[in-house]
Amino acid sequence: MSESSDAENRSNRFDRLPATPAEREVPGRVARSEVLDYWADRYGIPSETFDQKTFWEKGAGKIWVVDGDHPSPIAVEGLGMTCLRTRQEFWKPTTDFVQRFGELATDCVVVLSDDEAARFMSGDEQAVAWDGDWGYLIAARETAGDAVPLGVGLYTYGTLDSMVPKGRRR
């Protein structure tokens, strides 16, 4: 198994995550059960949300969520959407994932005012009032009566740092 990150990032090979850590064959690859536990434990997103979804790794630590199942490995340009960065101390959800599934979260959601949300979408760091867990939070704003996710922010020492990628800033 070549683990050279350069070669892996260029490859179009997606591998399905093993169901549980006990079935792990590739060192460092996270298991489906661990991903479901992460969404449930940190964000309160129910595991049943993903009953029809499968999770895949392409390149070291980049996890994709896909509807239904496929042969593994599969060599294609894209499979579903990126959802999570693993193989680092703190796992990091993607903007696209929290926009798609983050409305189901009950924890680690910081609701921003429109002014704060505008700063967040321009990629800035800002002081916010938050007394929950530190680390990656779902940043949301209130619209049509709901708290609707915008993206991921890294909260430390009273500051929320926007993780919105360049292509999604405004």
Partner 1 sequence: MGVNPLDRYESLVDDPTAFRAACDRPLPTTVRVNTIKSSAERTRRALDDEGVAYDPVSWADDLLTLPDSSPGDSWAFAHGWLHGQEEVSALPSLALDPQPGETVWCACAAPGSKATHTAALMADQGNVVANDSSLGRLSALRHNAQRLGVTATTVTRADARSYSLNPFAFDAFDRALVDVPCSCEGTVRKNPDVLTEWTMDHVESLAEIQTDILCRAVQATRAGGIVVYSTCTFAPEENEAVLDRVLAAEDCRVVEWDAPAGLETDPGITAWAGERYDPQVERATRVYPHRNDTGGFFCARLEVGA
Q: Of 100, 97, 108, whose CA–CA distance to 35 is shortest? A: 97
Place of tokens 């967040």: 120
Are 98 and 36 a contacting pair, CB within 8 Å? no
**Residue 76 binds partner 1, judged by CB under 8 A:** yes
**Residue 104 binds partner 1, judged by CB under 8 A:** no
Are 73 and 56 a contacting pair, CB within 8 Å? no
Stretch that binds partner 1, among 19-27, 39-47, 75-83, 84-92 (CB under 8 A): 75-83
**Residue 170 binds partner 1, judged by CB under 8 A:** yes
From 31, 60, 70, 126, residue interacting with partner 1 (rule: CB under 8 A): 70
Stretch that binds partner 1, among 1-9, 40-48, 79-87, 105-113 (CB under 8 A): 79-87
- Residue 25's alpha-carbon distances to 16, 19, 38, 74, 167, in angstroms, are 11, 11, 21, 17, 35
From 52, 113, 156, 159, residue interacting with partner 1 (rule: CB under 8 A): 52
From 36, 110, 141, 153, residue interacting with partner 1 (rule: CB under 8 A): 141
Report the residue number, 76 or 134, with the smaller CB distance to partner 1. 76
Closest separation in Å from C-beta 167 to partner 1: 6
Buried b (16+ CB within 10 A) or exposed e, 4-36: eeeebeeeeebebbbeeeeeeeeeebbbbbbbb
From 16, 32, 53, 58, residue interacting with partner 1 (rule: CB under 8 A): 53
Taking the chain, what is the end-to-end CA distance rounded to the nearest angstrom? 41
Would you tell me how many other CB atoms lie within 10 Å of the CB of residue 156? Answer: 10
| Site of interaction with partner 1 (CB under 8 A) | 52-53, 65-68, 70-71, 74-82, 96, 99-100, 114, 117, 121, 141, 143-146, 148-150, 167-168, 170
